[in-house]
Amino acid sequence: MPSPANSRFVKYRCLVVLLAVLLMETPPAFTKAAAYTARIREARYVRLTEWAKWQGLGIQWLKRGESVQLAKSGVRLQLTVDSREASINGLQLWLLLPLTSRNGDIYISQLDIDATFRPLLSPPRNERGNKVRTICLDAGHGGKDPGNRVAGRQEKDYTLRLTQELRDQLRKAGFKVVLTRSGDSCPELSDRPAVARRTGADLFLSLHFNATENGRADARGSEVYAMTPAGAASTNARGEGANSGTFPGNRSDEKNLLLAYQIQKSLIRGLDSEDRGVRRARFEVLREATMPAALVEAGFLSHPTEGKKIFTAEYRRLMAKAIVDGILAYKQIVER
């Protein structure tokens, strides 16, 4: 039987070995991060130059004190001081918190490092064997809710037509597709993601068209929304604040952003549309989705040119193809 002194020595030696292993497994970026963080407006920020170094990104000012570019092979980020507007490889992306300056240094929020850039620079992966097979499509509005109305035309009719076209193209691509509505009905908002849950859908997409409320006819282009992470304000017009808490939709924060990004990128390339960016919102259909989800505002019914295109079957076919291409790009990434 070992003596008490020997037992204490063995325990001490085990603790030393365990501590050494833990330190070896701790990512270098994590161990360095604490030295370069700051609390700014009650949020945790990281010095931009240090984050760029951890990512292997070169950094240069585009306009001293105002806009900066970070780049390496295949990646180009543009950021603006005191703004939430940014871009990645030319595609507009809205930050969760503004880039900010302090004591001559530029800082980026830890929330954006984790929930905006990590999903795009180091994309999430599905567990082995977990494939994207079933997609739930939600035609926005319907029934008593016409949505936007322009010159006697109602959004609910065109979201349904786009959804039907998208359904057909997705089936040809090998996906199983379920719809939240197939006619002029108006499911409750909470019932729409519930359909996706009941049918075991792997993705949920809600389809909409924009329109201006004040009669302006110059607004055009597409924008795609992902669920807003906890601790951030939304970028939609109603802009819920950072204290809104966590919802079921936040379980898929990284994949939500990746899905929205791939769809928006494909819409811009496929339609040569104006880029209104990947945005954040706590729409109920996104809040309650328990699988990766996005809400697509595919264009403006109120724009004199874009609206006329949306009313044609051929343009909706091109829209649907672009969305399918975005889904396929997302699928390829997460199933690697």
* pLDDT above 50 for 8: no
Residue 135: CB atoms within 10 Å: 26
Rounded Cα gap, residues 65 and 196, in angstroms: 47
In the three-class reduction of DSSP (H, G, I as helix; E, B as strand; rest coil), residue 65 is classed as: coil
Is 15 inside a domain boundary? no
Claim to verify: residue 139 and residue 271 sit in the same structural domain = yes
The pLDDT, as a whole number, for residue 218 is: 86
Q: Which of 116, 146, 162 is the last residue of a domain?
A: 116
Is 66 inside a domain boundary? yes
Claim to verify: residue 95 and residue 243 sit in the same structural domain = no
Q: Domain count of the chain?
A: 2
H helix intervals, the chain? 4-25, 28-33, 48-55, 110-112, 118-121, 155-172, 191-198, 253-271, 284-287, 306-310, 313-334
Residue type, 3: S
CATH number for the domain including 326? 3.40.630.40
The gap between the terminal CA atoms of the chain, to the nearest Å, is 53
Is 121 inside a domain boundary? no
Q: Which of 116, 149, 166 is the last residue of a domain?
A: 116
Task: Give the neighbor-by-neighbor strand order of the sheet with 105-109.
Answer: 37-40, 43-47, 105-109, 100-102
Is 208 inside a domain boundary? yes
Q: Which of 53, 86, 116 is the last residue of a domain?
A: 116
Claim to verify: residue 307 and residue 269 sit in the same structural domain = yes
Is 21 inside a domain boundary? no
Contact (CB, 8 A) for 240 and 96:
no
- Domain limits for position 306: 134-334
H helix intervals, 4-154? 4-25, 28-33, 48-55, 110-112, 118-121
Beta pairing class for 91-94 and 37-40: unpaired
* pLDDT above 80 for 57: yes
Instruction: Write the pLDDT tens digit of every residue in 281-336.
Output: 999 999 999 999 999 999 999 999 999 999 999 999 999 999 999 999 999 999 98
Q: Mind spelling out the 3-state secondary structure of 201-257?
A: CCEEEEEEEECCCCCCCCCCCEEEEEECCCCCCCCCCCCCCCCCCCCHHHHHHHHHH
Is 12 inside a domain boundary? no
Query: Would you mind telling me the total number of residues written for the chain in this entry?
Result: 336
For helices 313-334 and 155-172, angle between their N-to-C axes, nearest 10 degrees: 50
Is 212 inside a domain boundary? yes
Claim to verify: residue 298 and residue 240 sit in the same structural domain = yes
In this prediction the pTM is 0.89
Is 191 inside a domain boundary? yes
Residues facing residue 81 across a β-bridge? 99
Claim to verify: residue 100 and residue 177 sit in the same structural domain = no
Backbone region of residue 134 per phi and psi (left: phi > 0; alpha: psi in -120 to 50; beta: other values): beta
Binned at pLDDT 50, 70 and 90, residue 215 comes out as low
Claim to verify: residue 106 and residue 142 sit in the same structural domain = no
Instruction: Write the pLDDT tens digit of every residue in 226-244.
Output: 999 998 999 975 656 777 8
Claim to verify: residue 97 and residue 180 sit in the same structural domain = no
Binned at pLDDT 50, 70 and 90, residue 12 comes out as very low
Rounded Cα gap, residues 21 and 24, in angstroms: 5
Rounded Cα gap, residues 107 and 100, in angstroms: 5
Rounded Cα gap, residues 1 and 216, in angstroms: 87
Instruction: Write the pLDDT tens digit of every residue in 150-170.
Output: 989 999 999 999 999 999 999
